[in-house]
Chain A
Amino acid sequence: MRIRLLYFALVAEIAGCQHEEMEVGDATSAGEVLLKVVDRYPRLGTPGFQPLLAVNREHASPEREVREGDEVAIFPPVAGG
């Protein structure tokens, strides 16, 4: 199935793009998606850097299962304010 990936801030800078699509197997978790993305952009796996996840515009735990067409966002710890 196909999902849409969004990257923000330092994650977008490392990936060199702000969004892309990815083909994943059924019953894939958000955490597994993150590991695939880290495989693609190894700098995201730099020890100490902790990317976070959102699925369909809501903070998500790595266990969250993703479905066809989901919007999975990967971003650094938030730093607003």
Chain B
Amino acid sequence: MCEECGCGDPELVAVEMHESLLEGNAKNARHNRDHFARAGVLAVNLMGSPGSGKTALLEATARARRSLQLAAMSGDLATDRDAVRLEKAGIPARSITTGSACHLDAEMVHRALHHLPISGLDALVIENVGNLVCPAIYDLGQHVNVVALSVTEGEDKPLKYPVMFRKADLVVLTKVDLLPYLEFDLDALTDAVAKTMPAPRIIPVSARNGQGIDRWLAWLEEQKAQFVKAPVTDAGLVSADDHAHEHHRHPVQA
């Protein structure tokens, strides 16, 4: 009721707020981050266009990885083809089928964590849905963001998709074995990356001939050393088949 005269007309009330629309996802991402920290695993969010070579990069990583223990989650709209390819390459993998969603969010990753043991791993790679737009704004709880950019996509992609590249810790330039057949300007890419990435870093690789894969592996080791402490194994909080911990116990699922 109107307080001025009691006439019964509704009163207009202004409310100041400050609430991020991504807060729900951010909360789930913090929870995932806690899982990764407890398991002592580096979490990598691997993004890039469809066909940029994300899965091929992981296959080449599996062939060259030496002692590095990896597992992967693969986000795809409609199939589990990427996860099947990774399993075949020797990387334990879980498919996340998003239906029509154009990106992974922290809750989808958390659900997949129920089915993929992560303790004892060095790194969990979360292969996002192929897309240079939407995946960039969803925190999954990862330690690092990696963008796979293939030489056939052109050197101006960072300028066209600044949000994605701003969030990247590393650009893996893929398919460099094709460079002799293209007019790709590496200096122009370096310039575009410097304008969009605060700490620009590019590693050129070829999944086909193995070029640069050692540098990529060394980068993963560096990140693990920087971000990951020893796993929490006391009190049985983390085990191979169950990622339960004190504020949240999951049933072990088949």
A, B: real partners: no
| Chain B residues within CB distance 8 Å of chain A | none
| Chain A residues within CB distance 8 Å of chain B | none
